[in-house]
């Protein structure tokens, strides 16, 4: 019984994920669990496999072996050492439980802000504009961009574009939000507004996995920090302990460079 | 003066054939070209290779030859087409190939992030192409499509070898009858007028699609 309760609260479970690009083994057996309402920060040097980990979760990359469970259901399972994916419709449904925010925003440039938010609910959930528009406008108010709802993305600042991208992902009502360096493409003075939006989301107990170079965000907003290097999880822990007393030499060296 | 009017009216009559060939070819070749380009990028190997072969043949041989082939070779295997149908078939197949290559280049110029964003939002491949990729592609290919369309205006004159009374043939007939070059100048004015209108239309289209640019 206790075990079942526990299982219910595990939103994401990766087991022994291996992924290679040609001769390069990028993920060397990643084990990761994320619980409901948890904010997980993933940090690590460039090329350590942080983005690839996220991209394997939502099937932007295909894993070579291992298994991924999303809310208790297999996106991909290991059968005789090979990775076997769920059928396309099921796979799309599971991936649909997660929203993704990219470093480069990837807004649809030919649509207004509001249209960007409404597109997926219209197409994927087959909702009518009348059904989706109020919710979309509420989301825009929440990220402070309601006044820009009829603007095209090219007219917005980077920080505004990224907040629209967050709202666009939220419009699909995901259970989990994935962020891949959401502030790395922004001028320093614009990162604050995006981090603020993310903090608000964390305060509402959204389950979040955030790849970031913002140590302050990892320290203050995350419940758990993971340090990756060379395709492995080297160390993890709660932010206080992790930043105050990192155990592994690689973590210590990395943190020393960051601060 | 009266004679000039007569000539203009005769050439106007000829321009009907020219306009018909131009418009029908455009209306058929654009969607066909889009379908071919989608088959090219579909990832279905055999289909993609077949389309590549088709494009290679259409772009690698003269339109004139294709026109003569449809006109003379098809009747030999029992397919009888009217003059205008034969011309439309050859023109459509030829122009669809050129349009397909333009569309393909346009599709491939769209950033991967657009596909990834659509995918993580749960959209299918078809939805992604229809709603996200093709609309952006159209904006980008307007200048080369405009060029091809203006080429088409001029290429319509090729059908004069099929003894059809298009704009150019009508003009030439009068020149030969009267030993007077005026009909050629009038024909030139007709072609220029068509190109002028097209250029204007494409400018408007570019402005319309350009509203989302920075
Ligand atoms: N599509 C790909 N093809 C080949 N190699 C790739 C591909 N994507 C990533 N890699 C390689 O995999 C390794 C891990 O990349 P990844 O993007 O996951 O790193 P990262 O930790 O996100 O780094 P960064 O902090 O620079 O974003 C790198 O060496 C990268 O060059
Ligand atoms: Mg990365």
Task: Indicate which CATH number applies to the domain containing B91.
Answer: 1.10.3720.10
Instruction: List residues bridging with B179 in a β-sheet.
Output: none
Candidates B138, B146, B140; CA nearest to B200 is B146
Q: At residue A6, does pLDDT exceed 80? A: no
Instruction: List residues bridging with A19 in a β-sheet.
Output: A27
Task: Work out which ligand 1 atom sits closest to the CA atom of A181.
Answer: 27
* Complex confidence, ipTM: 0.93
Distance CA A141, CA B61 (A): 59
Which structural domain, as residue segments, surrounds residue B29?
2-212
Indicate yes or no: CB of B111 within 8 angstroms of CB of A172: no
Where does the pLDDT of residue B167 fall: very low under 50, low under 70, confident under 90, or very high at 90 and above?
confident
Is A190 near chain B, with CB under 8 Å? no
Distance CA B91, CA B209 (A): 28
Q: At residue B203, does pLDDT exceed 80? A: yes
pTM metric for this prediction: 0.92
Sheet containing strand A73-79, strands side by side: A24-35, A10-21, A65-70, A73-79, A82-85
Percent of chain B residues past pLDDT 70, beyond the cut: 100
User: Looking at residue A259, what is its pLDDT?
Assistant: 67
List own/partner pairs for B125-131 with CB under 8 A and 24 or more apart: B127/A123, B127/A124, B129/B38, B131/A119, B131/A123
- 3-class secondary structure, B117: helix
Q: What is the mean pLDDT of residues A2-14?
A: 69
pLDDT digits (tens, 9 = 90+) for A153-196: 999 999 999 999 999 999 999 999 999 999 999 998 899 999 99
Number of domains in chain B: 1
Select the residue from A55, A100, A108 to test the B interface by mutation, using most B Cβ atoms within 10 A: A108
Select the residue from B116, B117, B124 to test the A interface by mutation, using most A Cβ atoms within 10 A: B117
Ligand found nearest the CA of A24: 1
Two tokens at A239?
């932010």
């Amino acid at each position: 019984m206790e075990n079942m309760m526990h299982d219910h609260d595990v939103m994401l479970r990766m087991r022994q994920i291996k992924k290679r690009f040609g001769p390069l083994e990028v993920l060397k057996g990643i084990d990761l669990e994320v619980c409901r309402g948890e904010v997980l920060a993933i940090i690590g040097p460039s090329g350590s496999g942080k983005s690839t980990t996220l991209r394997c979760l939502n099937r932007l990359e295909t894993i070579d072996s291992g298994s991924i469970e999303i809310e208790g259901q297999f996106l991909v399972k290991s059968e005789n050492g090979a990775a076997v994916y769920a059928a396309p419709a099921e796979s799309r449904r599971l991936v649909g439980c997660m929203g993704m925010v990219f470093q480069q925003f990837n807004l649809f440039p030919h649509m207004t802000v509001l249209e960007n938010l409404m597109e997926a609910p219209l197409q994927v959930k087959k909702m009518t504009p009348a059904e989706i528009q109020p919710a979309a406008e509420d989301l825009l108010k929440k990220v402070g961009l309601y006044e820009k709802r009829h603007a095209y993305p090219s007219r917005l600042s980077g920080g505004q574009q990224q907040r629209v991208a967050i709202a666009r992902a939220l419009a699909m009502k995901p259970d989990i939000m994935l962020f891949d360096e959401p502030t790395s493409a922004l001028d320093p003075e614009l990162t604050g507004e995006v981090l603020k939006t993310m903090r608000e989301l964390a305060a509402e107990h959204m389950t979040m996995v955030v790849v970031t170079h913002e140590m302050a965000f990892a320290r203050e907003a995350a419940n758990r920090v993971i340090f990756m290097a060379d395709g492995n999880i080297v160390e993890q822990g709660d932010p206080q302990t992790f930043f105050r007393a990192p155990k592994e030499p690689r973590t210590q060296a990395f943190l020393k460079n960051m601060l | 003066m009266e004679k000039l009017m007569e000539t203009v009216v005769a050439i106007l009559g000829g321009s009907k054939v020219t306009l018909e060939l131009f418009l029908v070819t455009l209306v058929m070749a654009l969607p066909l070209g889009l379908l071919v380009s989608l088959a090219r990028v579909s990832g279905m190997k055999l289909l993609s290779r077949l389309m590549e072969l088709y494009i290679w043949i259409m772009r690698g041989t003269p339109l004139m030859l294709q026109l003569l082939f449809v006109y003379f070779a098809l009747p030999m295997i029992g397919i009888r087409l009217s003059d205008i149908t034969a011309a439309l078939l050859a023109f459509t197949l030829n122009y669809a190939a050129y349009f397909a290559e333009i569309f393909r280049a346009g599709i491939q110029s769209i950033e991967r992030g657009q596909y990834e964003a659509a995918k993580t939002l749960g959209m299918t491949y078809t939805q992604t192409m229809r709603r996200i990729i093709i609309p952006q592609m159209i904006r980008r290919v307007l200048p080369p499509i405009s060029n091809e369309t203006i080429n088409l205006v001029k290429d319509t004159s090729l059908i004069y070898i099929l003894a059809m009374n298009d704009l150019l043939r009508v003009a030439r007939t009068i020149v030969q009858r009267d030993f007077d070059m005026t009909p050629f100048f009038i024909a030139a004015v007709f072609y220029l007028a068509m190109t002028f209108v097209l250029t204007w239309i494409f400018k408007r289209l570019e402005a319309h699609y350009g509203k989302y640019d920075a």
